[in-house]
Structure 1
Amino acid sequence: MKLTMRVATATIALLAGSAFSPAFAQNANQPDDDLPGRIIYEENCAACHDNPADTRAASFETLTGMTGEQIYAAISEGGMMEAMAGHLEMSEKIALIEYLVSGQTPTSGEGSWAEPLMCAADNRTVDLTGDASFTTFGVDTRSTRHASAEDTGLTTEDMRDLQVAWAIGFPDSQNVSAAPATVGNTTFINGDGVLAAFDTQDECVKWTYAGGMSRSPITYGKIDGVDTILYVTGTADVHAVNALTGEMLWEASAQPRRGDGGRVRSGVVLHNDTIIVNISASGVGGGGNYCCTGHGSVTALNAADGSWKWEWHTMEEATDNGLINSLGQMQRGPSGAPIWTQATIDETRNQVIVTSGENTSFPATRTSDAIIALDLDTGEPNWIFQAMENDIWNVHCRGDDSTAGPNCSWHWDDENIGRDFDFGGAAALTTVEIDGEPRDVFVAGQKSGHVWVLDAAAGYVIWERQIGNGTPLGGNHWGIAIDGERVFLTINDPVSYGTENPVPGVYTFDIATGEPVWEYLAEPDCENGRGDMVTLCEQKYGFSATPLVVDGALIAGTLDGKVFAFDGATGEILSVTDTAVEFDTINGVEGARGGSIDSHAVNVGNGMLLIGSGYASFRQTAGNVLVALEPAE
């Protein structure tokens, strides 16, 4: 069967609601330029995706390594490129997909990444009697990202000498960023549309669950006494899966009852009988006849069955705002203030804390670039702290006013700088002694390069510090970690954004006083062949992924694929592991290799660091492995 027919048939099957299981391997082959989709790509996509200076857009090489399903999801309703592709007919979308995947070589086998790892038939009983070492992306519902030695089986000294325990390859992925969860010897892994219970002792899979494509971190907990895995597929479909058997308990949409809905980028939080789901709709694409309509929201579901409990929106629905762009298109607003992050639970005050991003069209709202406390029972706001006013930005805001697209906010307000300075990570809750009294505080990092410490009860600023000038991809991109005394602020500052005096690295502050403790300034490492392995090696080497504290060690990953282990108290580098290399995988995926470490990729479980290596978005280095690092004997 011709490759183009397979893609077209699969795409049409998607429209009919059928599952599409792509069977194409990653490769660097050139697509067939004789296909009609090449013209569609050049006329509609190339201006961004062929432009090395456009670090927001995935490269052409990244697109040609994606599966047909992934491309289709991106350009369809709810996808990141929906606005850009909204004017294309379905026949044009199919032709575009056919062209982009036409250079790929079919894989030699069938089945998922997990199939070669299935345990023997008499060894498929899941044992969850050990320590629950990593059950949600924040480590706890306070979003501290601090895992103890007791829970993980790892100490600070263990980080001085790490080795690869095993690596698993995902043949249909270029981004490995869905955080696993670990209970006892079982690590629950989500990749290539398949969730699996992986026994880390026997190195085999107990069960699989094909819930659909997902980048969602996994949450484990008990619901009505049942060991349950929670994660999100598609745009906002929450799955509750029996952790012992892999059977679905229920599936429910977390889309809010009003508005355009949106996607879930983070994991969900389970607290007592409630599941909190944050929605990242923003309208950031800025395309189509109207810019823009999406906005962030929070949905609370009943844990027992996924039924709706309450919802809260960062703003009202967008309406015509009276502005018309240079193409004669009417603008809509307000929009934006997406919520990219997992929620934080403040049990003492019965509130849930979420953080938001920028507005994407006029008028600006007080809920953008904000830390927001909602009543856990009703969803009503208790307080809102806005870190930056009038941050109105969408993807048309590139370069300067002369080069920005027609929907950029700069054209209507010269005073509006529109910097895209989201909160990309959760606000962590901790207690510290200030002026001799214990105080509950929230700690959060922002893409402006700021770290903020707020009073937990009222949301006012206790102190703030800024490192560098910030950029749309960090500053602090995906959040911070704390150890109870110190906050660890990772700074990305990709040089490709033309940042003045970029300061990529790690910066540490005393939570109680704001005083600096130690810092590490990152430098590019492109010698000895690394420049050939790492995309834009001289530009992308900062710390973007959410860091993690294990015992007293800070674990942080870089865009050039390195895993740093620091002594959290002193800043001493305990070890550095390079993952931007090829790996022999235990599931036999050929050509598997690591790449950029970003977003939700740094995790831990059962005596091992678990690192997702590979993140092809934003012109970074593709990769397709989950790497387990353990102390060397």
Structure 2
Amino acid sequence: MTNNRRIAVLFLLRSVAIVGLSFMSLMGVQADELSDGAKIFQTNCSACHLGAMLEAPKVEALKLYPPERIIKSLESGLMSTAGIGLSLADKHAVAEFITGKKVADSKISETIYTCKSIGVDLPKSLSKVDWNGWGGKSGNRRHQENESGISPDNVDELKLKWAFAFPEATRVRSQPIVSKNMVYIGSQAGIIYALDVETGCVQWEYQAKDEVRGSLFLQLDSLLFGDLDGNAYAIDAQSGELKWRTKVHPNPLAVVTGSVIADEKKVYVPVSSLEIIPAARVEYECCSFRGAVVAIDLQSGEKVWTTYTIDEPKPTYKTSAGTQQHGPSGAPVWSGPTLDLKRNLLYATTGQNYSSPATGTSDAVLAMDLNSGEIKWVTQVTKDDAWNGACSRNTPNCPKEDGPDYDIGASAMLSTAENGKQLLIIGQKSGMVYALNPDAKGKIVWKQRVGSGGTMGGVHWGMSTDNQKVYVGVSDLPTNNPYNVGAAHPGLHALDLKTGEFVWRNDLPNVCAKGGKFMCFPGISAAVSSSTNLVYAGGLDGMFRIFSASKGEILWEYDTKQAVNTINGVKGFGGSIESDGPVIANGKIYLTSGYDKWGEAPGNILMVFSAGGK
């Protein structure tokens, strides 16, 4: 173990040692006053949720949850392994203690919206959208080249037009898509909302089985997406009625967190998993999941092909605790894949292996044949990266490699430079950006370090390119210190598309107040977007900024970390901006704010900005 990791473990142990005192202080109770729920929380949950586990939502965020969500998480969700030893009554007790709310005897009543079903005439055809899927248009470039309503000349006139608050939500992770008349977006509660573009009023809702984290994709008259239960869906874009639902992976911990994409015949679904969480438990036999991309028939919902990123796991060795290990495993796909119709290829980026042995397809770009799913070529950018949650907790299931956890969480961007040459651009949590040649089996053309890297980036969720420059948001949260390289550069940076050389850099100022309840940091983890002459980026500190594309200076900014009046009458508040990035369409900007993991500030809003608020 490196010296830095020993320090991290000692810090964790010290944090656990003082949890009892912190718990009493935070909850305002004495030891002899603890209820059953409080005792269960103190024994089973408090160490992580009082700050010892960075990725766990803080208690202040958990208080905003409905108790039913906590019970579901303990029963079958993220915390199901922690809930194994708890009875249903125990789960009810701890959920009611954390939230201060009673578990409903029946389903939560439908939210009453102040402007629901106003009868806006919907177009007969919804095949054309102004921002579709994760990347907006072809190539996943996150660039709106035809935007004329927002420019450097009027950017200082931007005002909030309307805001929509998601009921009982603490994060908004599903990026909206926008047509001429409608906005479609998923939610933490698994509800798909169809909202009127001009007013934000709800036209219809659809309830999926679990949280929807990725962007939707509209193909013909079908809205396509995946959920945290490992399902893919097609619903009617006019009515919200279900067309089909398909389970995409046999592993019980499989999830769809990335955005789906489709051509005229098939839907392509990236598959990740939650297995790195139970892997931290000493008795857990790690690991059985293997990443995949699944192609589904657009009309029937039947699987056409499944391509796994690694071979099937087999028994390998036993840990020092005597627990059987399996491998290889992991290499999840938690970013949206990219279509290349010209070459009949699909590009998927992968994460780390979960267990030994590390493979050649983790932390890599995989090019798959659209017809068969056959892997045509692989470009790996980090070798020997096997890691799971046991590594940060110093428990025996940590793989022998104890890798840096340098997933490629950003979708690959297919871009055409001014000289006509196409490049595939990828960004990694390591702080590296690469340009690959799609005509030379992914050969690296150039590479550039933009930040020091870390488990939270480096480059975390996504970049943008206008075919001249690559716009890179850098998080560089001070995590994973043993593997970080060089100075941190939290902010926004522009690279020349052809050469990878820096055009400009903007390390952002730290505007965070001291002593806040939640983590605040100036880095950009969420995906970046662009339009002609402008770049749009939201920060972990809740600041939404618009930059000059030519020089990188800040032209306009808005603090989303505040209470907001909403069109639907639900209490709205912003927080950290994480994961999905700004959407630009028809003179409007669509932005989500709020994220409750990693100690970040929770929030529940979709905001729409336009010049003068018109």
1:319 aligned to which of 299, 304, 314: 314
Equivalent AA in structure 1 for residue 526 of structure 2:
A
- 1:369–1:82 CA distance, 2 compared to 1 (3 A): farther
Displacement after TM superposition at 1:594 (Å)? 0.5
1:335 counterpart SS class:
coil
Looking at structure 2, the residues matched to 219 and 349 of structure 1 have their Cα atoms a distance apart, in angstroms, of 24
- 1:130–1:422 CA distance, 2 compared to 1 (3 A): closer
2:446 aligned to which of 453, 463, 469: 463
Looking at structure 2, the residues matched to 584 and 124 of structure 1 have their Cα atoms a distance apart, in angstroms, of 26
Looking at structure 2, the residues matched to 128 and 594 of structure 1 have their Cα atoms a distance apart, in angstroms, of 34
- 1:74–1:129 CA distance, 2 compared to 1 (3 A): closer
Equivalent AA in structure 1 for residue 603 of structure 2:
G
Displacement after TM superposition at 1:280 (Å)? 0.7
2:113/2:569 contact within 8 Å kept: no
**Residue in 2 aligned with 1:269?**
261
1:602 aligned to which of 566, 582, 603: 582
1:441 aligned to which of 412, 423, 427: 423
**Residue in 1 aligned with 2:465?**
482
- 1:67–1:296 CA distance, 2 compared to 1 (3 A): farther
Looking at structure 1, the residues matched to 61 and 223 of structure 2 have their Cα atoms a distance apart, in angstroms, of 31
Equivalent AA in structure 2 for residue 522 of structure 1:
L
**Residue in 2 aligned with 1:283?**
275
Equivalent AA in structure 2 for residue 512 of structure 1:
K
What does 1:386-401 align with in structure 2 at a 5 Å threshold?
386-398=380-392
Looking at structure 2, the residues matched to 627 and 476 of structure 1 have their Cα atoms a distance apart, in angstroms, of 24
Looking at structure 2, the residues matched to 424 and 215 of structure 1 have their Cα atoms a distance apart, in angstroms, of 17
Looking at structure 2, the residues matched to 490 and 534 of structure 1 have their Cα atoms a distance apart, in angstroms, of 25
**Residue in 2 aligned with 1:180?**
176
Greater alpha carbon shift after TM alignment, 443-452 vs 492-501: 492-501
2:49/2:59 contact within 8 Å kept: yes
2:396 counterpart SS class:
coil
Are 2:544 and 1:563 equivalent residues in the alignment? yes
Displacement after TM superposition at 1:460 (Å)? 0.9
- 1:303–1:476 CA distance, 2 compared to 1 (3 A): same
- 1:309–1:70 CA distance, 2 compared to 1 (3 A): same
After TM superposition, the score normalised by the length of structure 1 is 0.85
Are 2:506 and 1:506 equivalent residues in the alignment? no
Displacement after TM superposition at 1:128 (Å)? 5.8
1:39 counterpart SS class:
helix
1:425/1:479 contact within 8 Å kept: yes
**Residue in 1 aligned with 2:535?**
554
1:51 counterpart SS class:
helix
Looking at structure 2, the residues matched to 407 and 130 of structure 1 have their Cα atoms a distance apart, in angstroms, of 48
Equivalent AA in structure 1 for residue 113 of structure 2:
E
**Residue in 2 aligned with 1:405?**
395
2:48 counterpart SS class:
helix
**Residue in 2 aligned with 1:307?**
302
1:62 counterpart SS class:
helix
Displacement after TM superposition at 1:90 (Å)? 4.7
What does 1:122-133 align with in structure 2 at a 5 Å threshold?
122-123=119-120, 125=122, 132-133=129-130
Displacement after TM superposition at 1:176 (Å)? 1.0
2:387 counterpart SS class:
coil
Greater alpha carbon shift after TM alignment, 180-189 vs 268-277: 180-189
Looking at structure 2, the residues matched to 505 and 203 of structure 1 have their Cα atoms a distance apart, in angstroms, of 31
Displacement after TM superposition at 1:234 (Å)? 4.0
Looking at structure 1, the residues matched to 514 and 585 of structure 2 have their Cα atoms a distance apart, in angstroms, of 32
**Residue in 1 aligned with 2:133?**
136
Displacement after TM superposition at 1:238 (Å)? 2.0
Equivalent AA in structure 2 for residue 549 of structure 1:
S
2:227/2:255 contact within 8 Å kept: no
1:622 counterpart SS class:
coil
**Residue in 2 aligned with 1:190?**
186
Instruction: In structure 1, list runs of 5 or more residues that go unmatched.
Output: 1-27
Equivalent AA in structure 1 for residue 139 of structure 2:
R
Looking at structure 2, the residues matched to 517 and 342 of structure 1 have their Cα atoms a distance apart, in angstroms, of 27
Are 2:344 and 1:344 equivalent residues in the alignment? no
Looking at structure 2, the residues matched to 56 and 334 of structure 1 have their Cα atoms a distance apart, in angstroms, of 25
- 1:110–1:601 CA distance, 2 compared to 1 (3 A): farther
- 1:217–1:374 CA distance, 2 compared to 1 (3 A): same
Looking at structure 1, the residues matched to 455 and 85 of structure 2 have their Cα atoms a distance apart, in angstroms, of 27
- 1:212–1:282 CA distance, 2 compared to 1 (3 A): closer
**Residue in 2 aligned with 1:217?**
214
Equivalent AA in structure 2 for residue 276 of structure 1:
Y
What does 1:26-425 align with in structure 2 at a 5 Å threshold?
34-51=34-51, 54-77=53-76, 79-102=77-100, 111-112=109-110, 115-120=113-118, 122-123=119-120, 125=122, 132-150=129-147, 153-191=149-187, 192-223=189-220, 227-255=221-249, 258-260=250-252, 262-281=254-273, 283-285=275-277, 286=279, 287=281, 288-325=283-320, 327-398=321-392, 404-409=394-399, 412=400, 416-425=401-410
Equivalent AA in structure 2 for residue 46 of structure 1:
S
Displacement after TM superposition at 1:607 (Å)? 2.2
Looking at structure 2, the residues matched to 553 and 517 of structure 1 have their Cα atoms a distance apart, in angstroms, of 15
**Residue in 1 aligned with 2:573?**
593
Count of paired positions: 576
Greater alpha carbon shift after TM alignment, 208-217 vs 184-193: 208-217
Q: Alignment RMSD, CA only?
A: 2.7
Looking at structure 1, the residues matched to 264 and 112 of structure 2 have their Cα atoms a distance apart, in angstroms, of 32
Displacement after TM superposition at 1:125 (Å)? 4.1
Displacement after TM superposition at 1:382 (Å)? 0.4
2:73 counterpart SS class:
helix
1:32-55 Cα deviation digits (max 9, x unpaired): 973323333333333322235x32
What does 1:509-548 align with in structure 2 at a 5 Å threshold?
509-526=495-512, 530-531=513-514, 535-537=518-520, 540-548=521-529
Displacement after TM superposition at 1:204 (Å)? 2.1
- 1:207–1:606 CA distance, 2 compared to 1 (3 A): farther
Instruction: In structure 2, list runs of 5 or more residues that go unmatched.
Output: 1-25
